[in-house]
Copies of this chain bind each other. A is one copy, B any other.
Amino acid sequence: MDAVKPAKSVGLVQRQYFTFAEDEPMPLDSGESLAPITQAYETYGELNEEHSNAILIEHALSGDAHAAGYHSSQDPKPGWWDECIGPGKAFDTDRYFVVCSNVIGGCQGSTGPSSINPGTGRPYGLSFPVVTIGDMVRAQRHLMDYLEIDEILAIVGGSMGGMQVLQWAVTYPQRVRAALPLAATARHSPMLIAFSEVGRQAIYADPNWNGGDYYFGQPRPNTGLALARMIGNITYLSDESMKQKFGRRLQGRERFGYDFDTDFAIESYLRYKGHQFTERFDANSYLYVTKALDYFDLSNDYDSLMDALSRTAHIMYLVVSFTSDWLYPTYHSKELVSALTAVGADVTYTDLQSTWGHDAFLLEVETMTALISDFLGRVVAEHNVPLPVVPHGQVSVTGDEADGAGDSSPSETGGGSQ
């Protein structure tokens, strides 16, 4: 962060923690229970008197609670969705109270397999219970209770974040006014499960993984985790974006090496991304969070998707898919929209033209900003939400910032796809 606060930034922020279920364990979908549970979270902006202007941001697979702003004046990078959260941005912190919390099962402050099991005084490792998207949402509900937010103005997230959005709507329909699932699905497909599984196999195959027990100064299963991430990284891009960004360009070579060192820029990129990921993510959490994704099917406890969604007909939806997203292809969103329409919900749906693949939900900032702020304006009007009067009065994103989004990969900003 520059000494001078960047324009339209929420500025310096702090990660906060809320611990609950200390006396009474929280039941999980598996039949197990968990206690205590800590939720790491951040907030930006101010809650209005009526507690009616809260927006809950749900992060993707590798994301965390740090969605916007800077943790220190030396911080080189802002939170993972900083381009969309701040004064005058899509989630305008002059108007809304924005909350982002790290999922349970993760490794960035919320309770997960690397947390200390109070029963043993040692990290859980694989003794941590398997959690679901439903469990993640259940834990967040406790955080919302604590923050005294009964009705959430809007819940938004991309990829796994979008699944949490949908789960919120179905599990706690009376607490949600608007839901924005982006590049998401109502049901993890077999192809998605397949990619999850090979990522997990890469971790199991690393001898340092050691059955999930590696927290006591042993070498960590970084090779396996990096490999899992490399596989993931391919799926977050698109054939087209890889061509635009890398093509068949060689890396640090004038001609083919005819060896097994790095020849191509795309190889170098993947190796770097894989390595970088090991510096901020825990291999066991990768197992748990991908498993939660695989179990995700909004209709699990219902007769059908429509049956699940029928209770959410009063919620306003903004559903967005991206034309080049082959991981969560457009038809996933269309099926969702079709079911929502059938149950009579107010749905706005856009299939955005983009070459960025699944990552597009983090990169198409300018278009997303326009879409989201228009939609939120409608939600606010519909519910007569009193908002602070702000001087700038309208949302805009400069061309420079939009370009910047295109240049920086989302995983570089810590957002992480899925």
What is the interface of chain A, defined by CB distance below 8 A to chain B? 29-32, 126, 129-130, 187-191, 193-195, 197-198, 200-202, 204-207, 223-224, 226-227, 230-231, 234, 237, 239, 242-243, 245-248, 256, 258-260, 263-267, 270-271, 274, 287, 291, 294-295, 297, 326, 329
Contact = CB atoms under 8 A, between A and B. Distances in A.
Contacts of A29: 258
A202 B201 CA distance: 10
A31 to B, nearest CB: 8
Given A30-B258, A205-B205, A205-B223, A270 B189 contact: no
B207 A239 contact: no
Contacts of A188: 248
A195 to B, nearest CB: 6
A147 to B, nearest CB: 30
A224 B198 contact: no
Contacts of A198: 227, 230-231, 234, 270
Contacts of A259: 130
- Chief secondary structure at chain A's binding surface: helix
Contacts of A247: 190
A224 B198 CA distance: 11
Contacts of A271: 197, 201
Contacts of A264: 190, 193, 197, 294
A383 B186 CA distance: 57
B248 A193 contact: yes
A333 B350 CA distance: 31
B297 A239 contact: no
Given A193-B264, A197-B266, 6 more contacts: A189-B239, A194-B267, A198-B231, A201-B226, A205-B223, A256-B295
A329 B246 CA distance: 18
Contacts of A204: 260
A207 to B, nearest CB: 6
A287 B258 CA distance: 12
Given A205-B206, A260-B126, A260-B291, A234 B270 contact: no
A224 B205 contact: yes
Contacts of A239: 189, 191, 326, 329
A263 B290 CA distance: 13
20 contacts: A30-B256, A126-B260, A130-B259, A189-B242, A190-B248, A190-B264, A190-B266, A191-B239, A191-B242, A193-B248, A193-B264, A194-B234, A197-B271, A200-B260, A202-B227, A204-B260, A205-B223, A205-B224, A205-B227, A248-B297
